[in-house]
Amino acid sequence: MRKVTVIICAYNEEKTIKEVIRSVSMVPIIKEIVVVNDGSTDKTKEIIEELKHEISFTAINLSENKGKGYAMALGVEHSGSDVLLFIDADQRSIPEGYINRLVSPILNNECDMLLGYTTVNFLNQEVNPFKILTGERCLFKKDLEPILSKMKESRFGIETLLYFYYLSLEKTLKFIHLETLKHNSKFQKMNSVKATASYINEGWEIAHTTFNNFGLVSKVFKNQIKNIKI
C-alpha cells in the first residue's frame, strides 16, 4: 500500500484550520500531514502550534505571504510519501468518506491526477465552469518534482499551471463531484472591499501564469489537434 501525505496550505484560516487538521488526522489511509502557514496575519499560526500538542504533523510557518503555489511546492518538498493529497484549509467540514473518494482512484492507478470539485445550483442545474481550479486534488509526487520552481512562482495561478502541465504531458485527469463539500468564501473571511480585490488579484495571477507558460498551453493545443480523428 502506498503512503499518502496530506498537504494543507493556509493563509488566514483561523476559523477552519483546526477542524480541517483534526478531520484528516482521523483518516487511517493518511500516514503524514504537512501544514504550510503562508504568512498568516491572524491566529492561524497560534492554532497550528497549539494543535501540535494534540496531533502529530509537520508545521511550516512562513514569515511572509509567498502565494499558494509557493506554499504547495514547499509542502511537496517536505512530504515523505509518493502520493500527495492537497486539501484546502477553508472547508467548513470534511464529510465522511471524502478523503477516500479523492485518494482511491490514484491508489488504483485509474488516473494521474484526481480533482474533486463542488458546484452551485444555476437554473436547476449543478454547474462549475471553473472546476479545474479546485484546491482538492490527489496526485503522484514524482509528477510534481520537475516543476517545483514553476510552482513557487505561480501564486494563485497554481491550479492553471498544473492543469496545462498535465495535459501537455498527455497525463490522465479525473474529476469527481464532492456534493457536500462547502468552503468559506472570501466574503465570509473579510469585508466586501478586500474580498473583491482579492478575487480580482487572483484572476490576474491566473492570467499571468497562463501567459508565462504559453509553451505548455501551445503544446496542449497541438496534442488536441494531433488526437483529432478525421
Q: What is the mean pLDDT of residues 7-34?
A: 94
User: Which amino acid, residue 129?
Assistant: P
Q: CA gyration radius for the chain? A: 17
Phi, psi of 159 (to 5 degrees): -65, -35
The Cα–Cα gap between 9 and 33 comes to: 11
pLDDT band (50, 70, 90) for residue 119: low
Window from 58-62, 172-176, 196-200, 208-212 with minimum mean pLDDT:
196-200
Q: What is the pLDDT of residue 182?
A: 61
Q: What is the pLDDT of residue 193?
A: 67
Domains of the chain, CATH where assigned: 4-227 (3.90.550.10)
CB contact at 8 A, 184 and 93:
no
pTM: 0.84
**3 state DSSP class of 140:** strand
pLDDT band (50, 70, 90) for residue 11: very high
Instruction: Quickly list H helices, 170-230.
Output: 186-189, 192-212, 214-227
Q: What is the pLDDT of residues 45-100, one digit of tens each?
A: 999 999 999 999 999 999 999 999 999 999 999 999 999 999 999 887 777 788 99
Q: What is the mean pLDDT of residues 118-141?
A: 73
Burial class (CB in 10 A: 0-12, 13-18, 19+), 65: middle
pLDDT band (50, 70, 90) for residue 195: low
The Cα–Cα gap between 189 and 42 comes to: 11
